[in-house]
Structure 1
Amino acid sequence: MKKYSDWFKVDLHIHTDYSKQTKTNDYQGHFDINVLKGKLIENDVKLFSLTDHNIINVDAYKNYYSNYTDGDPKLLIGCEFDIEVPESHKTITYHSVIVFENDDFEDVEEISNKIEELYSKKGISKTERKITIDDLYDLFNEYNYFFIPHAGNTKSILDPYIGYDMKLCQQMVLLMPSAFEKVKESVRQTYNEGFDRIKTLDFQDKDDIPYINFSDNHNCNSYPCTNKNGDNHEFYCIKGQPTFESIRFAFIDPKSRIKKFSEVEVLMRFDNFLHSVQFENNPVIENTTLYFSPNLNTIIGGRSSGKSLLFNILGKKINNKKSQIEKYGLDITNAEVKSFLDDDYKPIINYNTNDIIYINQGDIVNYFENNSLKDLIIESGEIENYKVALETFKTKKSDLTTLVDKLIELYSELYDVLNSNFTFHDRDITSVLDSSYIFKGIVDIEDNTDSFQASNDLLVQLKYNTEKFKSNENWTFTLEELETIKVFTDLVDSKSLLFDNVTSNYKKKVEFIEGLKQIISDKNSNLDLKGREKEASNQRLLMLNKNIFNAFKIAKKVENHCALFENLVYGGIEEIRINDEVAVVLEVESSESIKAKIIEGLSNISSPNLSLYQVLIKLALGEMKIKNLVPNSSENLAKKTTTQVKGILDLFDKPIEYLKYSEDSTSKNNSPGFNSEKYLQTILKSGNSKIIFIDQPEDNLGNKFITEKLIDLLRDLKFKKQIFLVTHNPSIVVYGDAENIIMCTNTENKIKYEQFVLEEKEHQKEICTVLDGGQYIFEQRARKYNIKKLIQ
C-alpha cells in the first residue's frame, strides 16, 4: 500500500448466486469467491463489496475473510435493497446499495441476522422482499454505512418520488452519506440543479454531488461485465487508501476524489517527479524513507519541528541554488533521493533549471522589494521576451551614451575653435590695403568624395542584388516579370554610365583648379616684396575668416545637440504579457535631468537658468570651471561627465520590474499582501515547470484569497505538477485535499518525519492538533447542507 493517497479501482456492487434466491434467474453461471478474487486482482480492483438483492451471502464473506492476506482486495459488507416509499402510494420500489464500514466475520452474521429478522417479522417471502427508509434507520442506526441509490436508470430513486415530493427525495439523499449509481452524463446537470436549490449558498454551483458507477456484475466468470448486455464495465476510481473512510472522503469531495479510470489514466504522471528521500544514520533525523505523491505534498508541524529543514534538504538534493541548507549546519551526506525514473537512490538529482520553482519563505515579497520578477518570467515561459526587453534597454543605454559622447566630441571642436587665433594685426591691414598687386586665389570646389563613394556603393549593391534576385531558387518569373527586371537593370546601367560622366567631370574640375592654384602661387612668389607681403596678409585674412566661420558652424552644431538634452526623456517601459490578467513591466524612470547632472559637475555657474549650450560656451571660454579638474579640456569634461551620468546609465542595466494588473493598477501601488496573491496566482497558473516548492505560501496572503482562489488553483494544478508546500494553514491541507502530509516532530532535538493521509482517522486527529483550526476545517469540509433548515 502506498503511503500517500493514490487512485484505486473500486467496485461496491457485485452479486453472488444468492441473488437468485430473491430474484429469479438473477445470476448467470456458478459463483465462486476465489474466481471473483482472481478477476479482481487481474483488474487491479482494491476495494469491493458483495451486494445481493435483499440478502447477504454470509458464506462467501466468511470464505473470503478467512483466506484474506495483506495486499488482497479489501471486502466491505454490503447489500442491495428494494426500497419502497409508502407515502407516495406507488407500488414501485427503487434499488439502493448499502455498504457498511464493517469487514469481519461477526459483523457479517449480525447484519445478515438483522435483515432476516426484519423480513421474518413482516412475513415477506424472499422473492417479495422490500424495505423502507425508516426500516433502514431502525436496523442500522448503530452502524456507519453508505446509501448509494440507483438514479437515472431502471429502479431509479426518482421513480417513486416523481409526482409526489421530489424535494423530500433530495433532502433524504443529502442527509445520508450518499452517492448516486448508474447516472447518465446527460442527466447529471438536472440532478445538480435540484440539489443546489436546497444547499447552503457557499456550496451551490459546485461540482460536489458524488456520482459513481459499479459493475453490478451477475457472473463472476465474465467479470467485470454484467449479464444484461455483456458490455465491459468502465471502472471508477477513488483517491485514498482502500478503506471505508476513503469512500466517505470521496463522497464529500467527489471532484477531487472520484474519477473514471479513463480520466485517471490521463492524470497519470510519467515525468521525472521526485519519488522519495531516504534518511539513514543522521545525527538529528530519525531513520526513515519518505515517499512523495506526484500531486500535492504538504509539510506540517509545530515550531522548530524540522519543516523548513526538510524543505531545504529537498532543495539541496535536487541541486537547487536557492536551498538554504547551509544555515542549519547539518551534514546531510547520508540522505539520498530517488526520482520517478531512477532505479536506485543517489546523493543528488540534477533537474533542468526550468523544471523547478523553488520559493523560500518571504521570497515573494522580496521579489518586489528587490525589483526582480525574473523567476516569474522564466516560469511563465517568457524568458526570450525578457531578454529582448533587456536588449532594448541596452540599446537605449547605448543611444544615450552615444548622445553624451557626441556632446563631448562637439565640445572638443568648440573648445579648439574658440581657443584658435582670431587676431588680425595692423600691419596686415596696411598690407591688404596696399596698392601693390597680387594674383587672387580661387575658392575651393565642394568636396564630393563621400557622396560619390556612397552613390558608387549603391550602384554596386543594386547590380549584385538584381542578379541574386533573378537567380533565387525559391521563386520563378513570368516573361512579363523578366522584362520588368531587364528594364530595371537597364535603368541602373544608364544611371551608372551617367554617374561615371559626373565623376569624370568633377575630377577634371578638381585637377583644373589645383593646377590654377599652383600657377597663382608660382606667380605670387615672383612678385616684389610689397606684393608678397600683401599675399601673406591676405592668407592670414582668409584663415581668420575660416576660423570665425568654423566657430559659428561648430557653435551651431553644439547648440542643436544641446537642445536634445534640455527636456530629454531617456527612460522607457517594456511590457511582457504573462496572461490576460497580469503583465511584467520593466521600467527605467526618467527621474533625473541629464543636463542638470552635467552642470552639477561644473563650478562658477553665473545663473541657474543658463542653457546647456550657454554653459558649454562659457566653459570653453574659461568663464566656468570643471570641478576638481584643470584645464577645461574635452578630456577632463569627458571624465567629469562620465562620473556625473553613471548613476543614470546604470539604471538601464537593471530596470525596475513590477506587475501590471488587468484593472490597470500595478504592484508599485498595492500592498505586499495583494502583490503576493497576484504573484503566486500568476506563477501557478502560467507556469511550465514540473515541480513546485513553496515554503509557507500563506505568508502575506489573505484568508479570502486562500479559500476562494489558491485552493482551487492547487486542486487543479496538482494533477499537472508535483507540489511541495510547507504550511500552517489547515485550509490548504484539507480543502486542497493533499495527497501526502508529512508530519514533523522534534523531541529533544531528534526530528521525526511521518507520512499521513487525510482519510485515516488517527491521522486526522494528529493533523488537528498541529494545525490551528484544523478540526473546524474538517467539519466544514463536509458541511454542504443546512441541516437545521432541512429538518425544519
Structure 2
Amino acid sequence: MIKAIYFKKTDSLDESEGLIKIDFVRHINVIVGPKGGGKSTLFDLLASIKNGYLPSNVIDALKNHGLEFVKAEEFNGETILSSTLSKKNEKDKFNDFYKRNDVIFQDDPIKKDLNKSDDIEKEKYNYAKEIVQKQFDKVSNIINRIQNFYNMIYSLINGSHNSINWANTFNFKKTKDDLNIISHLNFSISKFKSLKDIETKNINKIIENSKEQIGLMKSFKENIDLTSVYKDDKFNSDYQKILGNIIENHNQLTQLLLNRNKLTKKIANVFDAFNIAYIRQINKIKELDYNNQGLKTFEKASKDYFANFAKQIIKLKKIFYELTNTSLEIKFDKEELEHTFLTYKMPQDGVKFDDDFIYDLLKIVLNTPKSEKDLYRWIHENQKETKSKKDFDQNKIINKISKELVNFVQVYADGYDYKTLSLGQRSIYGIKYKLKRSNNQDLFLDQPEDNLDNNTIATTILDLIQERKEQQVFIVTHNANIGILSNPEKVIVADLNNKINPYQEGKISLDKNSNDTTTTFYLEGGFKYLEARYIKAKGEN
C-alpha cells in the first residue's frame, strides 16, 4: 500500500524549497479536479509504481509543469526511489494496464468490449473443447467417417487384390525371344490402355457422326423454310411434327455426347489411379526369379484386380460425397460453464458446419490437392512417392473442431446474450469482471462511471467499492455519487496549473452555512447548485 509520494519542483530557483508530498490512506482515496488538471497523470503514476516502472507520459506531463517524481513510501516502511523504477512508453503502459485486473483505466476496452478480451476468447475455447470431450459421441460420427475415408484412400493406394497371388501367379517359361518378366507384366497394362483408346476412338466417332447429323437436320429445316410457299395446313402440321422430332433427337444426342464424355473422363481417372497402384505391385516383384512355368492366370487376375479397384473407387466416391455434400450438424446436450459473471452455452438448435470445414478436417490427415473437391485429385496427391503419409491424429481433429466451435459459443451475462447488452450494461459487467478477478489486490479506478447512469452507479458501483474494505483503492472521478457516497477517507484535488500547490488535500462539506470546498465545487458544482437540484427534484417552487 502506498502511504505517500514526493515530487520536487524543477523550475524553482530556491534550492531550499522542500518537496511536495501527497499523503494517502489505507482504504479509499478519491482524486478530483478540473479537466486537464493532472488527475489521470497522478493515477497513471500510482498504478505504474505498483508494478515497478514509470511511464513516459507521466514523466513528460510532470516535466511540462515543472515537477519530477522523487520517491514513494509504503505503509510497511519501504521506500521506492524513482531511480529504481524502469521506464516504459505509453503503449507498453496501456498493455500493462489492459492485462492487469487491479486497474480499470479511462479508455479500458473492458468497459465496452469484454467479449474481445483474450481471457474470454481462451475461456470460450476451453469450454468448446470441454464440450467435445464430455460429449464425444456427438462428434465421433464425423471423426469415424473421416477415418474410414482415410483408411480407404490408403487401402486403395497400397493394397493388392486377393485374386492375384503375387508370389505364385506370375511364373513364366523362358520364351525363345527371351522376354523378361516386366514385359509380360506391362502387357496387361498396355491392354487396358488399348481398351481405353478404343473406347475413346468410338466416342470420337460418335461425336463426328452426331455433328454430321445435326448439320443435316439444320439443312433440312432450311429447305423446309425455302419451300414454305407451298405449305398447306396438313403440310404445316407435318412440318411441326418433323421439326419437333428433330429438336428432340438433337437434345437426346447432345445429352448422349455429354454422358459419353463424362464416362470417358471417369474411365481415364480410374485408369490413372489404377495404373499408379498397379505399377507399384509390379515393382514389388520385378526382382524375383520366375523360370519354371508359363503365364497362368495373369490376364484374368489383372482384370479382376482392375474391376475390384474400380469398385473401391465407387465406394470411396460415395463416402467422399456423403462427407462433403451433406451438411454436418451437431446438437449438444445442455452444458453450461460459469466463469465469473459470465455463462457460456452452445446454441440450442445445434451447430452446422459447411463443406469447406470438412475439407479442412481432411487436410489434417491427408496430403491436399489443388482441387479439393475432386476425389481423383485426392487419390493422385496421396499416391505420389514424394509425399510422406500423414498419421491419422484424432486429437488434431478434435482441436480443430473445438476451435471452430468457438465461433458458435454464446456468452451470457445474468441470462442476457452479451452481444445484445447496451454499452452501459457491458461497462458494468466489465468492471465486475475485473474486480472479481482482482481478488485481494489494491485497486486503481480511473472514471469507472463511464457509460453508466447515476442509478447504476449508486446501486452497483458503490457496493463494489465498499466491498474492498481490506484493500487500498484509488479512484479518479467526476461523479458525485462515487466521490462522496463511497465515503472516501482522503480526497486529493489535482490541478497542475496551480504552481503553488498542484496537488492538495480536499474536504467534503455540504454544510450550507460554510463556504464550498474545492471538492464540493468539482463534484457538485457547489452547494448552491446542489440545493437548486434538490428543490427541483422535490417539486418545490
TM-score normalised by the chain length of structure 2: 0.52
What secondary structure sits across from 1:312 in the alignment?
A: helix
Whether the 8 Å contact between 2:149 and 2:320 is mirrored in structure 1 is no
Pick one of 667, 675, 681 that aligns with 2:426: 675
In the aligned structure 2, how far is the partner of 1:298 from the partner of 1:654? Answer: 41
Q: Which residue type is aligned with residue 731 of structure 1?
A: N
Residue aligning to 1:189: none
Q: 1:746 is aligned with what amino acid? A: L
Comparing both structures, which one devotes a greater share of its residues to helix? 2
1:362 aligns with 2:112: no
1:711 aligns with 2:462: yes
Task: Find the aligned partners of 1:750 and 1:637 in 2 and give their Cα distance.
Answer: 78
Match in the other structure for 1:164: none
Q: Report the CA distance between 1:343 and its aligned residue.
A: 3.3
Alignment correspondent of 1:316: 48
Aligned partner of residue 335 in structure 1, secondary structure: strand
Cα distance between partner residues in 2 of 1:393 and 1:337: 49
Larger radius of gyration: 1
CA contact (8 A) 1:365 1:676 kept: yes
Question: Counterpart in 2 of 1:769?
Answer: 521
Residues 181-208 of structure 1 show CA distances to partners (whole Å, capped at 9, x for unaligned) of: xxxxxxxxxxxxxxxxxxxxxxxxxxxx
Letter in 2 for 1:343: E
Among 74, 77, 82, the residue aligned to 1:342: 77
CA distance in 2 between partners of 1:656 and 1:764 (Å) = 56
CA distance in 2, matches of 1:407, 1:282: 78
Please say if residues 125 and 402 of structure 2, whose CA atoms lie closer than 8 Å, have aligned partners that are also in contact. Answer: no
User: Aligned equivalents of 1:356 and 1:635: distance in 2?
Assistant: 50
1:758 alignment partner, SS class: coil
1:593 aligns with 2:328: no
Q: Structure 2 counterpart of 1:712, which letter?
A: D
2:284 aligned partner: none
Residues 656 and 355 of structure 1, relative CA distance in 2, 3 Å threshold:
same
Contact preservation (8 Å) 2:442, 2:471:
yes
Q: Give 3-state SS (helix, strand or coil) of 1:675's partner.
A: helix
Deviation at residue 720 of structure 1 after TM alignment = 3.2
1:751 shift after superposition: 7.6
Rounded Cα–Cα distance in structure 1 between residues aligned with 2:499 and 2:149: 68
Task: Give the equivalent residue in structure 2 for 1:577.
Answer: 338
Change in 2 beyond 3 A, CA 1:359/1:656? farther
- State the AA in 2 paired with 1:770: Y
Check the 8 A contact 2:509/2:517 in 1, yes or no: no
1:345 to 1:372, Cα distance in 2 relative to 1, 3 A:
closer
**1:671 Cα deviation after fit:** 1.2
1:741 Cα offset (Å): 1.1
Q: Which amino acid aligns with 1:720?
A: E
2:497 alignment counterpart? 747
Contact 1:742 1:755 in 2 (8 A): yes
1:689: how far off?
Answer: 3.1
- Matched residue of 2:508: which SS? coil
Q: Does 1:279 align with 2:7?
A: yes
2:60 matched residue in structure 1: 329
Q: What corresponds to 1:541 in structure 2?
A: 300
Which residue identity lines up with residue 329 of structure 1 in the other structure? D
Note the C-alpha offset of 1:290: 1.9
Give the direction of change, closer, same or farther, for the CA distance of 1:756–1:405 in structure 2 (3 Å limit): farther
How far is the alpha carbon of 1:658 from its aligned partner? 7.1
Shift of 1:282: 5.3
Structure 1 residues 30-54: Cα deviation after superposition (integer angstroms, max 9, x where no partner): xxxxxxxxxxxxxxxxxxxxxxxxx
Candidates 355, 364, 372, aligned match of 2:117: 372
Instruction: Note if 1:290 corresponds to 2:25.
Output: no
Q: In the alignment, is the contact (CA less than 8 A) between 1:696 and 1:726 conserved in 2? A: yes
TM-score normalized with structure 1 length: 0.38
Mapped partners of 2:35, 2:352: distance in 1: 46
Stretch deviating more after TM superposition (674-683 or 551-560):
551-560
Deviation at 1:778, TM superposition (A): 6.7
- SS of match in other structure, 2:47: helix
* Alpha-carbon shift at residue 735 of structure 1 (Å): 1.5
CA displacement at 1:585 relative to structure 2: 3.1
Distance 1:283 1:729, change over 3 A: farther
Q: Distance in 1 between matches of 2:128 and 2:85?
A: 32
Alpha-carbon deviations, 1:470-490, whole Å to 9, x = none? xxxxxxxxxxxxxxxxxxxxx
Tell me the secondary structure at the aligned position of residue 680 of structure 1: helix
| Alignment CA distance shift 1:617-1:387 (3 Å) | closer
Structure 1 portions without partners, runs of 5+: 1-272, 378-382, 430-520, 605-611, 639-644
Pick closer, same or farther for the CA change 1:355–1:570 going to 2, 3 Å: same
In 1, Cα distance between equivalents of 2:416 and 2:68: 48
Verify the 8 A CA contact 2:73 2:79 in the aligned structure 1.
yes
**Gap change, CA 1:563 and 1:387, over 3 Å in 2:** closer
Q: Is the 8 A contact 1:412 1:633 kept in 2?
A: no
Distance in 1 (alpha carbons) for counterparts of 2:27 and 2:309: 77
Q: Give yes or no for contact 2:38–2:495 (8 Å, CA) kept in 1.
A: yes
Answer yes or no: is 1:617 the counterpart of 2:375.
yes
SS of structure 2 residue aligned to 1:329: helix
Which whole-Å deviations, capped at 9, do the CAs of 1:424-468 have from their partners, x for residues lacking one? 849x99xxxxxxxxxxxxxxxxxxxxxxxxxxxxxxxxxxxxxxx
Give percent identity, aligned residues only.
17
Residue 665 (structure 1) aligned to one of 416, 421, 424: 416
User: Following superposition of structure 1 onto structure 2, how do residues 338-737 of structure 1 map, counting pairs within 5 Å?
Assistant: 338-347=73-82, 357-365=102-110, 368=113, 371-372=116-117, 374=119, 388-389=126-127, 392=130, 409=150, 413=154, 416=157, 423=189, 425=191, 526-527=292-293, 532-533=294-295, 535=296, 538-553=297-312, 556=315, 559-560=318-319, 563-565=322-324, 566-569=326-329, 575-578=336-339, 582-585=341-344, 593-595=354-356, 598=359, 615-617=373-375, 619=377, 659-662=411-414, 664-684=415-435, 687-714=438-465, 716-737=466-487
Name the count of aligned residue pairs: 375
Q: CA deviation at 1:310?
A: 0.8
8 Å CA contact 2:8–2:19 kept in 1: the answer is yes
Alpha-carbon separation, structure 2, partners of 1:717 and 1:737: 12
Deviation at 1:621, TM superposition (A): 8.2
Go from structure 1 to structure 2 and tell me whether the alpha carbon gap of 1:387 and 1:652 turns closer, same or farther (over 3 Å shift).
closer
Deviations 1:602-645 (A, max 9, x none): 999xxxxxxx9xx43354589xxx9xxx999996999xxxxxx9
Tell me the distance in 2 between the aligned counterparts of 1:649 and 1:750.
Answer: 64
CA contact (8 A) 2:447 2:476 kept: yes
Q: Which amino acid in 2 is paired with 1:302?
A: P
Conserved 8 A contact 2:156-2:312:
no
Shift of 1:779: 5.8
Q: Is the contact between residue 328 and residue 352 of structure 2 (CA under 8 Å) also seen in structure 1?
A: no
Separation in structure 1 between the aligned mates of residue 484 and residue 327 of structure 2, nearest angstrom: 59
Q: Over aligned residue pairs, what C-alpha RMSD do you find?
A: 5.8
State the SS of the aligned residue for 1:746: coil
Partner letter of residue 450 of structure 2? Answer: D
Q: Measure, in 1, the Cα distance between the counterparts of 2:111 and 2:60.
A: 24
Q: Distance in 2 between matches of 1:658 and 1:774?
A: 47
**Pairwise mapping of residues 106-255 of structure 1 onto structure 2 (< 5 A)?**
none
Aligned CA distance change for structure 1 residues 618 and 561 (closer, same or farther; 3 Å)? closer
- In structure 1, what is the Cα distance between the partners aligned to 2:149 and 2:407? 26
Contact 2:449 2:477 in 1 (8 A): yes
Deviation readout 1:325-376 (Å, 9 max, x if unpaired):
547635797432233223334446999x99951111131456626611638x
CA distance in 1, matches of 2:463, 2:102: 19
CA distance in 2, matches of 1:672, 1:707: 18
Map of 1:61-100 to 2, 5 A cutoff? none
Asked which structure has the greater RCO (Cα within 8 Å, sep 6+), the reply is 2
Write the letter of the residue equivalent to 2:430: Y
Determine helix, strand or coil for the equivalent of 1:771: helix
Aligned equivalents of 1:719, 1:631: Cα separation in 2 = 70
